[in-house]
């Protein structure tokens, strides 16, 4: 019999998580392996216990060695700091141990398992704030700025394509940001170039609001 095409690797000994992950894998047609029986395999999904010593370091290593795998971390206690740390380290999904199976199944069924996400800002930090809301320097896409204008949150590249100025240091008028150096203008919701001398637009990142946070998402 030929091996299934897709595989889920368990790096956890938590029986609740293992049960839930196996159910999700079965429903999606993935085989299940552990580190002891399939070292060196190329899994599509990896489930990691974040509360083991070095759990975050494990995620960082896995992100580097398996860039296309969906990384799922689990915790037993709601700990927003660890949660955020795990997402920034490269976890695509972080969940409480009892919820891993269901959330993993949802992701696999929806076809968004391979969609990476990076947390940018908490919803709570957006409340009641308009215009430029935040600057975040250390994302996988470099420096970005978060805007909240006309009822919409957007996350855009914060580097002018003309000569590298920090765009968010410019003047914002409605949806239009003006580069403080030579006056190029861009739409902060779409990234569209509205006026030169810059000859291209900037990246407006796709975002999702989930779990009380705004994330950049990509595949």
Residue/partner pairs of 131-140 with CB below 8 Å, 24 or more apart: 131/172, 132/168, 132/172, 135/168, 139/216, 140/116, 140/216
56, 105, 134, 198: which one binds ligand FES (CB under 6 A):
198
Helices 80-89 and 55-65: crossing angle, nearest 10°? 20
In this structure, the strands spanning 176-178 and 193-195 are unpaired
Q: How far is the CB of 173 from ligand FES (least distance, A)?
A: 16
Three-point CA angle 125, 129, 130, nearest 5°: 135
Site residues for ligand FES, 134-173, by CB under 6 A, read 160, 162-163, 165
State which residue, 94 or 167, has the beta carbon closest to ligand FES: 167
Q: Is 129 in the site for ligand FES (CB under 6 A)?
A: no
102, 135, 152, 182: which one binds ligand FES (CB under 6 A):
182
State which residue, 30 or 156, has the beta carbon closest to ligand FES: 156
Q: How far is the CB of 170 from ligand FES (least distance, A)?
A: 8
Q: Is 184 in the site for ligand FES (CB under 6 A)?
A: yes
Beta-sheet strand order (sheet of 93-96): 31-34, 7-11, 45-49, 70-75, 93-96
Q: Which residues bind ligand FES (CB under 6 A)?
A: 160, 162-163, 165, 179, 181-184, 197-198
């Amino acid at each position: 019999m030929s091996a299934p095409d897709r595989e889920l690797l368990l790096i956890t000994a938590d029986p609740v998580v293992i049960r839930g992950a196996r159910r999700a894998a079965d429903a999606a047609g993935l085989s299940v392996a552990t580190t002891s029986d399939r070292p060196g395999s190329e899994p599509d999904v990896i489930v990691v216990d974040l509360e083991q010593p070095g759990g975050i370091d494990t995620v960082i290593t896995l992100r580097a060695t398996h860039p296309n795998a969906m990384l799922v971390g689990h915790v037993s206690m709601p700990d927003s700091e660890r949660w955020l740390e795990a997402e920034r380290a490269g976890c695509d999904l972080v969940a409480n141990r009892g919820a891993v199976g269901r959330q993993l199944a949802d992701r696999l069924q929806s076809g968004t398992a391979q969609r990476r996400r990076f947390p940018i800002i908490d919803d709570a930090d957006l409340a009641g704030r308009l215009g430029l809301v935040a600057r975040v320097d250390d994302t996988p896409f470099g420096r970005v700025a978060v805007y909240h204008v006309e009822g919409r949150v957007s996350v855009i590249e914060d580097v002018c394509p003309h000569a590298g100025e920090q765009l968010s240091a410019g003047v914002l008028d409605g949806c239009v940001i003006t580069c403080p150096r030579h006056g190029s203008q861009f739409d902060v919701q779409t990234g569209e170039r509205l006026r030169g001398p810059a000859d291209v637009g900037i990246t407006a990142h796709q975002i999702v609001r989930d779990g009380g946070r705004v994330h950049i998402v990509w595949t």
